[in-house]
Amino acid sequence: MTRSIADQTIAELGGHASVLVHQRRDHAELERLLHELGTTTGTAQEEVLTRLDRLVFSHAFAEEVVLWPVLRRVLPDGDQLTRQVEEEHQEVNELVSALERDGLDDPRRPERLARLAEVLREDARDEEDVLFPRLQERLTPGELRALGRRWAIVRRVSPTRPHPTVSRRPPGNALSGLPLTLVDRTRDVVDAGVRRVPDRFAPVGRAVSQGLAAVAGVVERVPLARRGDGPPTSR
């Protein structure tokens, strides 16, 4: 009988370098940020949402590029299992895009935030209780550690913003990853600066951020960025 990785020791998961340990650690940080998100409002909530975005989207990108192809290779039902998680990732992309687009005063914001928290928690449970125990059965501890090293490298150079029209599968996500990462992480720096500079300089920073968002939109619409996906996550 498979056991959730939430109930296993670090040694059982393959050691500190194991991809399963990396995943569980990120899920714990996710839960902490979701709690903080629910206890803040206004610009403070926006800052928490930004930190949440950086965690969630880099984590999901590394999963889609590194982990899910392995699951599809080693499990007979891997395609079906990863497709379910990809649908959850897609919904997260669409929810965060809507939150960014419509701003703090949109009446649908509380409902969207609640749904975002629900989907993220459901995604973490699916992975910890179903996908990762199945992966653990098929890989040795050494293979889990090797996969963890690859996952950690990709996560450090992954996009940090929602990109709902990009493929959730290779080759589209891998091909669009580098340009989107450069744009996203530059926007992160610009947006952080906007929150800290005097108000008279903020419009310039916001204009730069909007320009970078437009560049990301161009990258998302390149046909290569959409290759490899299919219904129901393709857009």
| CA-based R_g, the chain, Å | 18
**DSSP class of 130:** I
Q: What is the rounded distance in angstroms from the CA atom of residue 58 to the CA atom of residue 161?
A: 8
Helices (H) and strands (E) in the chain, counts: 9, 0
Contact 185, 77 (CB under 8 A): no
Q: pLDDT tier at 201 (50, 70, 90 boundaries)?
A: confident
58-80 mean pLDDT: 97
Q: Give the least confident one: 99-113, 189-203, 207-221.
A: 189-203
Contact 194, 206 (CB under 8 A): yes
Q: What is the rounded distance in angstroms from the CA atom of residue 55 to the CA atom of residue 23?
A: 11
- For the cut 60, the answer to whether the pLDDT of residue 79 exceeds it is yes
Q: What is the rounded distance in angstroms from the CA atom of residue 82 to the CA atom of residue 63?
A: 10
Give pLDDT tens digits for 15-49: 999 999 999 999 999 999 999 999 999 989 999 99
Give pLDDT tens digits for 204-226: 999 999 999 999 999 999 998 88
Written as six digits, the tokens of 55 are: 């965690």
Q: Tokens 């950690």 belong to which residue?
A: 152
**pLDDT score of 83:** 94
Q: Residue 83: how many CB atoms within 10 A of its CB?
A: 18
Give pLDDT tens digits for 151-191: 999 999 999 999 999 999 999 999 999 999 999 999 999 98
Q: What is the rounded distance in angstroms from the CA atom of residue 99 to the CA atom of residue 161?
A: 12
Q: What is the rounded distance in angstroms from the CA atom of residue 67 to the CA atom of residue 209?
A: 31
Q: What is the rounded distance in angstroms from the CA atom of residue 35 to the CA atom of residue 30?
A: 9
